[in-house]
Amino acid sequence: MIAIIGAGKMGEALLAGMLAKGHAPEDVLVTEPREEHAAELRRRHGVGTVGAAEAAKRAETLLLALKPQDMPALLDEISPHMSADRLVISVAAGITTAVLERHLPAGVPVVRAMPNTPALMGQGMTAVSGGAHAGPEHLDRAEELLASVGEVIRVGEQHMDTVTAISGSGPAYFYFIAETMIEAGVAMGMPRATAQKLVGQTVTGAAAMLTGSGEHPVVLREAVTSPGGTTAAALRELERHGVRTAFTDAIEAARDRSSALSGE
């Protein structure tokens, strides 16, 4: 039995992605304190909803997807029901395995994971990192579970705040660019639906080139940039406005925020 504790945006994306990949709803319990949302989850996904203590008693694997700020209280609530034969996987930004371990009985294996919302479409990117009591079998279990909703890599925990800033928050950066491109088209008089179609397929195509061609993005970008042409004119404006530096600073700010959320 798997329990998902906290089924907001990320928890529900993981839930829906897992069910779409063949996990049986009877094998998943969900804890969600917003009663109206819990009823929606039961209706939409056919899963049972229970309190956190009940979920902790019944599930072998607990997937914690609450806000980092809510995590210590939740850990204290489930702690009496935890033992070394359970596996706790946390997707909370910034919360280190050391913090998780401090709130749980000695020996409970914990895995820190950082997924992203494309998990909903089976296209997630998750990095995982094991705590002091997580053996290879625990990392395998976490990886197997998260691989049902996309790709999984293992990283040293020192990289987890950077992972959070790059792939955890990353989809939002691309949506921001897509939104800007659509609005630019609309501002130039194009119907919104046309702009949305052009941008959507361009993002899909660019992503396919990036992951499928094995080429570095610079090579792909140069192939689009005809001498004296439109792309060169656009890229000059992006550089003039410092967009590269802005992106680097943004990712550093996300990394620093992740690190601050640990509360350490």
Ligand X SMILES: O=C(O)[C@@H]1CCC=N1
Cα distances (angstroms) measured from residue 174 to each of 18, 30, 104, 210, 221: 24, 30, 37, 14, 16
Please, which residues have CB within 8 angstroms of residue 135's CB and are 6 or more apart in sequence? Answer: 109
- Report whether 165 belongs to an annotated binding site: no
Q: How far is CA 126 from CA 6, 90, 156, 256, in A?
A: 18, 12, 13, 19
Question: What, of ligand NAI, ligand X, none, does residue 65 touch, CB below 5 to 8 Å by kind?
Answer: ligand NAI
**Rounded to the nearest whole angstrom, what is the least distance from the CB of residue 150 to ligand X in the complex?**
15
- What separation in angstroms does the CA of 194 have from each of 134, 179, 183, 186, 198? 50, 13, 11, 9, 6
Q: Which two tokens stand for residue 163?
A: 């992972």
What phi and psi, each to the nearest 5 degrees, are found at residue 257?
-65, -40
Q: In the range 91-120, which residues lie near ligand X by CB under 6 A?
A: 93
The two beta strands, 110-114 and 124-130, are: antiparallel
Q: Which is nearer to ligand NAI, 50 or 195 (CB)?
A: 50
Partner from ligand NAI, ligand X, none binding residue 30, C-beta < 5-8 Å depending on class: none
* Residue 111 dihedral angles phi and psi, to the nearest 5°: -125, 130
In angstroms, give the least distance from the CB of 67 to ligand X: 8
Structure tokens at 140: 């395998």
Q: Rule CB under 6 A: is residue 88 a binding residue for ligand NAI?
A: no
Of 100-108, 161-169, 202-210, 216-224, the window that binds ligand X (rule: CB under 6 A) is: 161-169
Binding residues for ligand NAI restricted to 35-64, rule: CB under 6 A:
52
The CA distance from 255 to 248, in Å, is 11
Pick out residues in 139-168 that bind ligand NAI (CB under 6 A).
168
The reply, when asked if residue 227 is annotated as ligand binding, is: no
C-beta nearest to ligand NAI: residue: 8
Q: Measured from the CB atom, is 150 or 168 closer to ligand X?
A: 168
- Annotated binding site for NADP(+), which residues? 5-10, 65-68
Residues near ligand NAI (CB under 6 A) are 5-11, 31-34, 52, 65-68, 70, 74, 91-93, 114-117, 168
Residues near ligand X (CB under 6 A) are 93, 164, 168-169
